Structure 1
Amino acid sequence: MSETVEENLARDAEAAELLVGAVDLHCHSGPAAMPRILDHHEALLDCAAAKFRALLYKDHFYLGTAHAILLEKLFPELGVQLFSGIALNNASGGINPHAVDHAAKLGAKIVWMPTLSAANHIEQVHGQGKTFPKTSKKMLDPLPLRATDANGELLDDTKRVLDVIAEADIILAGGHLDAAEMIKVFEEAKRRGVNRLLVNHPTYMIGCTDDDIRELVSIGAHIEHSICMWVEGKSKKFTPEELLHLIEVAGVDRTILSSDLGLVGSPRPVEGFRQVVRLLLDQQVPKADIRKLVSSNAARLLGLDAAA
């Protein structure tokens, strides 16, 4: 039975209320080598209009922390905290302790293990006969990166990166490493004192099974699902039922929903949040759980004051 106009408006109002204080840990705004539908400033304005608490920009090729610092300084009246970090792809020198040390000293909040340059990513894309990413201008072909050597042991540079992350007490994200490699990295990270662990889109590119997700949670990781894969647009891949299942596998307290939006052919990040909150409401997910999924879990991982 279809909803009335009044019911739709009421549900939209519920969604808007639940997004007050939201945190997006995975916004793909520009400028970027890949085509984007909005820039960092526009993403900030959208978040401010929806009363988000914080926004974290991600670019696969550069450290975005300086942009975040300047934009927050230029527009303090908007009340949105801005963050970024570094992805350890070829453009950053790969798994490069010096790049991570600089990022941490500048104020980066997150370090992503290789994404587009990860050997797993390259193998999967080539196996599917696809080209991803599609940059605005042709770039050099990526050189495959692994966190481990030919014997499956962690590289010395990987260990040095983990030590820098532990000392700075910032987030280590798994990037596009495959599940087995990520588990190995996260286990060592935990031993070395890394307290903030994040798994990006475990069911896309990473190849996590339910048991892999449970193991990663047992290590101490939060599981991040990309909203873009559940809302209307070219990146949609999964059903509402699959999202509910994945939330159940990791647990509400260990699950984070981030947009992974800014891509051509998909909604803007804040609109993606609106759509996924509507989806969760339609699936009868309790409002307290939705707040954890879109707000408090990510705020806690960032180290933001819970009372703010």
Structure 2
Amino acid sequence: MKNQFHPLLEGAYEFHVHSAPSIFNRKQTDWELIEDAKLAKMGGLVLKSHETSTAERAFLLKEKEPALNVFGGIVLNQHVGGLNPYAVETSLKMGGKVVWFPTLSAGQHQQYFKKKKTKLFNGNPLLSESTVSIEEEGRLIEEVEIIFRLIREHDAVLATGHLSLKEQHAIVSAAIEAGVEKIVIQHADMGISKIPLEDQLFFASQGCIIEKCYLACSSDFNDLTVEEMAKTIEVIGHESCILVTDYGQPHHEAPVYALNSFVEKLLEHGVKEEEIVKMLQGNPKTLLGVD
């Protein structure tokens, strides 16, 4: 294992990372994760859990390590009652910064993993057996509008989760109309809910930030190479992208080391240092309201 991190990780933010406790096996606990982040002199992390709010964990981690900005949020899966405004409000009032729309409970996610054999989400625990729908009779349900209002009022970030392309267009359009200013299109290149490049460009033109996710290049997905991802960044513009790993799975390298590998490979394929700084520091800090 490497004992030295690339200098570009200093001050960097990892906006999409998984750690334990979780109902899924994870590579590291929260404590182990932040020890690596400290070694790399990172600026901060956003903890994501498919099954529970991470706002409380982030609060305690930041109390322990005040120099590291640790943030949490909530994913709107069945585990928290789906599109549950009460759970959203609670997470945001406890310091949560991100509201992710359904992942495991998205119909798109479940259809994708029915067809794919992978080490992710198979076996025990099983996938959620019922889906969380954002629409009823072709219209967004009332709870979605309430959640938009809560996100806006708390200056939080809306992330699109594992929704289908059609659903993501519906959510983004309605959220912008409702005054939500911070929207992240999650792992846009990943097969779970792959966003065509023309749609990524459209979302960027609407002010959304596009996640460029290392996991999409991993053995779990093999959706594209880092070289191909670098080309998409060039087309979209680094001003509209963030770099994330989405790591934490036990069969991969630890997340901070994965981020280090991601940065090194992007540099090899022509992404400039100042562009990486923008995607790892400037854009995440703007989303999170960090100076």
Which TM-score applies when normalising by structure 2? 0.93
The partner residue of 1:66 within 37, 49, 56 is 56
Deviations 1:142-189 (A, max 9, x none): 31112112x321111111111111111100000000111111111111
Once residues 50 and 297 of structure 1 are traced to their aligned partners in structure 2, the CA distance between those partners, rounded to angstroms, is 19
Q: Which residue of 1 aligns with 2:145?
A: 159
Q: Which residue of 2 aligns with 1:292?
A: 278
Once residues 258 and 117 of structure 2 are traced to their aligned partners in structure 1, the CA distance between those partners, rounded to angstroms, is 29
1:247-258 alignment, distance < 5 Å: 247-258=233-244
One-letter identity of the residue aligned with 2:60: L
Deviations 1:60-93 (A, max 9, x none): 00001111111111233xx211111000000010
Shift of residue 132, structure 1, vs aligned partner: 4.8
Once residues 158 and 255 of structure 2 are traced to their aligned partners in structure 1, the CA distance between those partners, rounded to angstroms, is 22
TM-align CA RMSD? 2.0
Q: Which residue of 2 aligns with 1:191?
A: 177
Shift of residue 140, structure 1, vs aligned partner: 7.1
**For structure 2, which runs of at least 5 residues remain unmatched after alignment?**
none
Shift of residue 283, structure 1, vs aligned partner: 1.5
Once residues 55 and 115 of structure 1 are traced to their aligned partners in structure 2, the CA distance between those partners, rounded to angstroms, is 20
2:99 is equivalent to residue 117 of structure 1 = no
SS in structure 2 at match of 1:165: helix
Structure 1 segments of 4+ aligned residues over 4 angstroms from their partners: 129-132, 233-236
Once residues 23 and 252 of structure 2 are traced to their aligned partners in structure 1, the CA distance between those partners, rounded to angstroms, is 18
One-letter identity of the residue aligned with 1:62: T
Shift of residue 236, structure 1, vs aligned partner: 4.7
Shift of residue 131, structure 1, vs aligned partner: 8.2
2:11 is equivalent to residue 24 of structure 1 = no
2:92 is equivalent to residue 84 of structure 1 = no
Q: Percent identity?
A: 30
Q: Which residue of 1 aligns with 2:39?
A: 49
Q: Which residue of 2 aligns with 1:228?
A: 215
Number of corresponding residues: 289
SS in structure 2 at match of 1:225: strand
SS in structure 2 at match of 1:186: helix
Q: Is the 8 A contact 1:235 1:266 kept in 2?
A: no
> Which has the higher Rg, Structure 1 or Structure 2?
1
